[in-house]
Every structure is written in structure tokens, then in C-alpha cells.
Amino acid sequence: MASCYFLTSTLGIFLSLWISIINAEFYVIDDQIGLGRRFDGIGGLSGGGATSRLLVNYDEPYRGQILDYLFKPDFGASLQILKVEIGGDAQTTDGTEPSHMHYEGDENYFRGYEWWLMKEAKKRNPDITLIGLPWAFPRWVGKEQSSPYHNPDVTAGYVVSWVIGAKQYHNLNIDYVGIWNERKFDAEYIKILRRTLDKAGLTDVGIIAADGNWDISVAMALDPQLYGAIDIIGVHYPGTTTIPQALWTRKTLWSSEDYSTFNHNDVGGGCWARILNQNYVNGRMTSTISWNLVASYYEDLSFGRDGLMTAEEPWSGNYVVESPIWITAHTTQFAKPGWRYLETVGNLTHGGSYVSLTDGKGNLTVVIETMTHDHSICVRPPLPPYKVFPQNATFHLKGSFATVSELQLWYSKFDFANSKSTLFKKLQTVKVFDGFFTLSLGVDEVYTLTTITTGQKGHYTDPPNSSPFPKKYLDDFDVRNPSFDEAPNFADQTGVFEYFQNLTDPGAHVFTLRQIVTQRPIAWANDADQTISIVGDHSWRDLTVTCDVLIETVNTGGVFIAARVDKGGESVRKAMGVFFWVFANGTYRVTNDIDGKMVRAEGLSGTRAGKWYTLTLTVKGQYAYGMLDGYPLWKNAVILNPKNGWAAIGTYSFEYAQFDNFQVLAD
């Protein structure tokens, strides 16, 4: 009887299987008909700009936990590529990142936080690919011109010095460098950069070009030297498609910046799931890099919460592991760089896509996505309409996979109706019968089927609850040996503000914060004509800002403190607020704009360069008041707008100036 029952049961299983196959669309997974392109990994981009600014300010263990979710293999996103900005002292989206060479002859390979971030990533994943790309350049690189191509040998030397510094001071091997983010490329410069790298013994450092559109591939077809200089064609926001000329080059193709979508409503996760598959299916791009890595900047700056996860509250320790982390894991935990895509990849009959990858040693990973149009719209480019329907899909494993008997199954389901999404959940193993298995696919789902058994959904206890920026905040900048050059929570929007040891002052102002950029950089975004660093809570309305200031430029210099600053990032030139200025010519001014044209009060202050002063600015309702060294200087300036914004410090132009004993008291 037992044998009869087993036979009947087995026949029932096979009967159910064949019924499901008959009612399903059919797809073959086969490595015998040839392999596709090499899989190069999934990555994140820190920079473009200052997108990881607040991350370094987190206390442990939270900072380490965030880094684990990003980089630790088989834990979270398990990122395989880290791309960073080569700082150029200019505004590049959400702030400025400092250059390793502010001026000719200056070299400091400890400025900023990208060195630290690359080391932390490498500590967790020694095999991670590292990339550097400039967005902006110090003015001297262009020999006072507004283009880095004016003196290409100087620019190439500048970039190569960054690569050498990474190795010499941080033991970091940079794998690739880029040209000039999203700006017109110069073929002669690219060839000079290749020669300069080779001359420095950096023949293993590849060049990615041109981090914009596909035009570089057309130019490569006409210029054999240019073709030979470029290792990877990198394009931004390609909409999952490639032009024929790029394919004809037979070069490696990457979506070297993509995503850039709000992460908190799961549409960002849907966008990411769709393009991770379809960038290869439709465009044969073998790597996709997210802008940005982690949303670790003030949310009211440009593109708030556009990272793979969110870490914007170092003062509370709160962070949020968003859905793109787990969508990334669907690929990165089960396919490593060096694996190969199979030729058997494609679009599903009723919407969605699938890719299949192998390590060439018998392991197989299949990733399926069924994201609907409205739930996977990326910020760019526009997404043409399409439909996705529930469907049955039968897969036939052939070639070296014909003997596979079971596959691990990881599953995500976006629930936009009830906000109860399932993310990266391990389900029951899928049995493979005679090379066949069938799945019933819903919409807005992601599946990974794999022979790899090491995947896991890493987890830490919940971080502290979210809380606003402290209403009482002070910083005396008395840091003798700082780990980072930037003061915590200050976010430079034009210029660069660094810790400074003032050896000429034996008194109360030995350790200060100093603005050190004295020439307008070769810009990427629209820097202000003034320098400015913001801090605090964008919702602040009534507050008092106090700071000691030192003008260093005789006659023409000036500094300000500010409240209710409403804009930063790429809109910093249009920033409104309450700006209290004092100048080296003995005057003061109160303006409603950073450009200093909307004057609300002005007069004599007696201020001059080389002497410390204490400025106090109070804004309450529609009135503002100002004090100099504790004495009223002006009062009852009418401020109707803006109603709220950050506190800030800054200078009248690109000039040296120092700040000390900063304090905010907000109501």
C-alpha cells in the first residue's frame, strides 16, 4: 500500500507540474548556446556632491551598522562597486567636497571623508571596485580658465596625483577614473590622461568615459587612439537602452550613474529593481551604479532621500534601511563580479524581465522582476507606458544546469495599497523536475532563484528613534587632532570650511573653523559668489545665532552669520534668509538674500580685518535684531520671508576668514 501511495503521489506531482507548464509561458536557461557579457557588479556613488556628508558624524555602533548594510557581503546590499567624487572645492549638487590640492603645490590626502569611506568599504569587502570621478576642479588647474581642458597636462597630473595619494597614504588601489561628470568630453585630454597614468606606472587603472550620454562611442569609432585609451563606456540615466554605435565598439558598457529616485515610498525600490535587470536585458550594460549611495545630507537640499538608504540624523543615531538595499541584495548576494550573463535573458511575455548568470562552475542565479509602470518610475528619463499582468512562467534548465534539482528562492513584493511590502524574504526551496520549474508571478515582485546558499537578510536592533536637530547647539571648534577636516553637521554649500590651528593667536582663538577657497573653482553647478556653510534644522523659525568672526582680507573682506536660510545645493545662488554682514571697511549690512542686494539695514560698524568680533543675530516673527560684541548694532529689521530655514556662516567673496564659538538657540 505504501508503494502504491508513493506512486500515486508522485504521479500527482508530475501531473500538476505538467498542467502548470501547459498553462505557462516558456523560457529556457542554457549555458551551452554561449555566454553573454561579464557581470561587473552593482554599486553606489558617494559624491556629486557631498551626499555622504552627515554619515561621518554618526557615533558607533550606528555608523558601523550603516556601513555593514551597504558593503558587508551577504548581509545587506553587499555593494560591489564604490564610486566617489574627486573633490574640487565646488558645489556639485548637495554641497562642496574639498580638493586634495586647493592651490598649485598644495597636497593634502586627508581632506574630506571619501578616503575614509573607501577604506571602510574595502575593510568589509576587499574585492570592491573603487572609482574616482571629478565634478569640479580648483581654479588653478585650468590656469585661471573655466575649463579643465585648457591645460590638459595639468589636469591629468592633478587626477593622477589623487590616484597616487590614495595608494601612498591610504593603501587604496583605485581601479578606474573618469573624465568630467556630465560635461562635454575632450578627446585629447582623455588620451593625455591615459599616457599620464601609464607614465606613473598606473597601467592597471582604467578610464571610464564620458559619464554623460553615448556620444563618446561615436567619437571612438573615428579615433583609434581614443578607442584604445578608454576601457569602459559609462553613461548616465540611459533608460535601460543602448545605441548601436556603443554596441559596435565591443567595449564594456556601464550605467555609471542611475536611479536618483526618492527612496521612501517604494517607487524608488521599484525603479531600482526594474533597471538592475533591464539595463542588461535591453542595453547590455553590465554594471549599474546608484546616485546616491546613502542619503546622508540635509533632506531639504536637492534630491532629498535619493539614496539606497537614509542616514540623515547623526545627532539622534536614527537611520532607515530602505527597500533599494534589499532589491540590490537580490543580485549582489548571489552573483559576483566575474560571473557571466547567459545569452538566455529577456523580457517576460506579460511584462517584466529576467536575467540569468553563472560563475562557470555550475552555479546559477536567475533574477526576475515584474514591476509595473507607475510603481517603478525613475526620476529620469521619462518612462514610456507599458503593462504587466500576473502570469505563470515555466523555466527549462539546460546545458550544465540540467541536473540541478532545487533552487534557493528569495522573494520581494511591493504592496503599494497597504504599505506592507515583503522585502528579501527566503521562501521554501523550489524543486526542479527533469530541468523544469514553474512560478506563478504576480505584479510588483522580485524573485531570485539560485544555487548559492549563503544569502541572508542581515539585521541589527532598531536604531534610536528619529528626532529633530537640537534646538541648542554649539561648537567651539577646539579639536587638536581632528579625524575629519569638517566640523560636524556643517554642510558647505559654496567654499570649503576646515578646522584650522591659528598659530598667530595665543589666546582664545587658537582652534577655529576657516574658509580656505580663495578663487572661484571650475564649477559644475551654480556656486554662489559668496561662500556659505549651513547647519541645523530647515524648519527653524525663531532663533538666535552667535559666532566669533575674523575677517582676514583688508579693506574688501567681509563675513556673515545667517538665519532662516531657505536654499542650498544647486539653488544656493538664490538663497534667501536673514544675513548679518560685517565688512573690513567698517560697515555692516543686513540683507534678505545671499547676494546682498535686498538690504534691510546698513550702517557703520567700525569693523576691520585682523580683529575678532562677536556677532549675534536674533530673528523673531517678522523682525530681526543684531549685536556686535554684545552691544545692539541694529534692530527691528522687517523680514517677511522666508519663514524658516537653516543657520549659516560665510564670507563676502572667495576669501580667507575664520569662525569660532558658534552657537544657535532656537525656540
Tell me the catalytic residues: 182, 257
Q: Please say whether the beta carbons of 147 and 154 come within 8 A.
A: no
Please calculate the CA angle 218-221-226 and round it to the nearest 5 degrees.
Answer: 95
Residue 119 parent element (H or E): helix 114-124
- Please report, in angstroms and rounded to a whole number, the separation of the first and last CA atoms in the chain: 82
Separation CA 548–CA 562 (nearest Å) = 13
Q: 543 near 563, Cβ under 8 Å?
A: yes
Q: What SS3 state is found at 315?
A: coil
Answer whether the bond into residue 277 is a cis peptide, omega within 30°. Answer: no
**150/411 Cα distance (integer angstroms):** 52
Phi, psi for 83 (deg, rounded to 5): -110, 130
Q: Please, which residues have CB within 8 angstroms of residue 375's CB and are 6 or more apart in sequence?
A: 266, 267, 270, 414, 416, 444
CA–CA dist 179, 207 (Å, integer): 8
Going by C-beta distance under 8 Å and a sequence separation of 6 or more, which residues neighbour residue 304? 262, 295, 297, 298
User: What residues contact 661, with CB distance under 8 A and at least 6 apart?
Assistant: 474, 476, 477, 546, 547, 548, 614
Contacts of 361 (CB under 8 A, 6+ apart): none
CA–CA–CA angle 145, 150, 155 (5° rounding): 100
Whole-number Å distance between alpha carbons of 562 and 595: 13
Q: Whole-angstrom Cα distance, residue 241 to residue 237?
A: 9
How much is the pLDDT for 506? 78
Most distant CA atoms of the chain, gap in Å = 106
pLDDT of residue 23: 66
Q: Does residue 171 sit in helix, strand or coil?
A: coil
Helix (H) or strand (E) holding 167: helix 152-170
Report CA dihedral (114, 115, 117, 118) to the nearest 10 degrees. 110
Mean pLDDT by groups of 10 residues along the chain of 667 residues: 36 47 84 96 97 98 99 98 98 98 96 98 98 98 94 98 98 98 98 98 98 98 98 98 98 98 92 98 98 98 96 98 98 98 98 98 98 97 98 98 98 94 98 98 98 98 98 97 95 98 88 97 96 98 98 98 98 98 98 97 98 98 98 96 98 98 98
Give the strand pairing for 657-666 and 543-551. Answer: antiparallel
The whole-angstrom separation of Cα 578 and Cα 618 is 9
- HEC letters along 419-458: CCCEEEEEEEEEECECCEEEEEECCCEEEEEECCCCCCCC
At 265 the pLDDT is 87
Instruction: Please name which of 558, 554, 547 lies closest in space to residue 596, comparing C-alpha atoms.
Output: 558
DSSP 287: E
Instruction: Write down the pTM of the prediction.
Output: 0.96
Contacts of 386 (CB under 8 A, 6+ apart): 351, 373
Convert 449-485 into a string of H (helix), E (strand) and C (coil). Answer: EECCCCCCCCCCCCCCCCCCCCCEEEECCCCCCCCCC
